[in-house]
Amino acid sequence: MHHFLQSGMLGDHILHGVDSTELVNECKIPLASLNINGQNIRIYSDLDSDCGKRRNKRDKSVYVVGYRLHTLTAIDTETGHSFPIISLLAPANHHDSHFLSLLVDVAQAMGVEVKLVTADTAYHDNDGSLHDKKGIYVTTPPCSTVSTPDNVDTANGTVFCHNECSVPMEYAGVDEDHHEYKCAANTGECLLKGSCPQCRSISLDRGFFQRIPYHVEQIREAHDIRKNCERPFNLLKHQTGLETVRVRGQSAITVRCTFSSISLLLLKMAGTRKKEPAKKSPQLPLFKMAA
């Protein structure tokens, strides 16, 4: 990792993403199934593996037996290239939310500067500790289970002062647990300007009003570029052979994943699969709000 960070392959516009992929083993039928204190405990021939919900869209089965590889990926927002930085392996039934802070801690311990992390809704900084203690912004798509505040456009998160207001409010900033908005109407544009509070405070949540609110245009672009996290998983599986898990036990598979990640980064550094850059307009650089 030291040599990769010194190689200069990571440009000045780096966004980090977190995602995971399934590593399926062949132990699909449990050796035993026990009920302990109302909990169903399944024991497989690979003792460390477990059964969890599948998220592979190409496979229509609901559950998978095996492991899940959680990876922090560095994405160059100008080129779209992505590089796996840190990976943690866990049984497939472990929830994603346990691994975001661990991935960030390991990355920072290795000297990786992390400012903004884009992830899906399963990875979240629910208590705000990553921002409060480390100054890291975490952004995910708005959670569907979070209620949208009144007088907020559910398409893009635009805020209005009240139900009779037709002028979108201007974002004023954020404090510890609230976003602040102020009236943006020009003189004579709003007939109700003299009788309304002209300001509004909205609490932080996991929906449209995370630490950086959803109506910020660059946030939606950060959500779109998160798809680049899937590219390293495809290379790890099909280029370095992780598609088929040939060893058993979490320790052995962790070693296998580590060597696969090292191999992938070495291939990137060697440039053996490098293509000519396409002539297209670069994506927007990492926005200033996460600086």
Across residues 31-50, what is the average pLDDT?
A: 81
Question: How close are the terminal C-alpha atoms of the chain, in Å?
Answer: 24
- Superfamily the domain 2-144+216-290 falls into: Ribonuclease H-like superfamily/Ribonuclease H (3.30.420.10)
pLDDT-derived band of residue 283, with 50, 70 and 90 as boundaries? very low
Is the pLDDT reported for residue 286 higher than 60?
no
Q: CATH 3.30.420.10 in the chain, residues?
A: 2-144+216-290
Percent helix, strand and coil across the chain, each rounded to 5?
A: 25, 25, 50
Across residues 247-275, what is the average pLDDT?
A: 85
pLDDT in tens, 172-212: 999 888 999 999 888 878 888 778 888 899 999 988 999 99
Q: How far apart are CA 284 and CA 290, in angstroms?
A: 14
pLDDT number for residue 121? 87
Specify whether the CB–CB gap between 85 and 72 falls below 8 A. Answer: yes
Specify whether the CB–CB gap between 17 and 233 falls below 8 A. Answer: no
Instruction: List residues bridging with 67 in a β-sheet.
Output: 23, 91
Is the pLDDT reported for residue 278 higher than 70?
no
R_g over Cα of the chain = 22
Q: How far apart are CA 165 and CA 94, in angstroms?
A: 45
pLDDT number for residue 117? 93
pLDDT in tens, 98-151: 899 999 999 999 888 899 999 988 888 777 788 888 889 999 999 888 899 999
- Give the rounded percent of residues in the chain with a pLDDT score beyond 90: 29
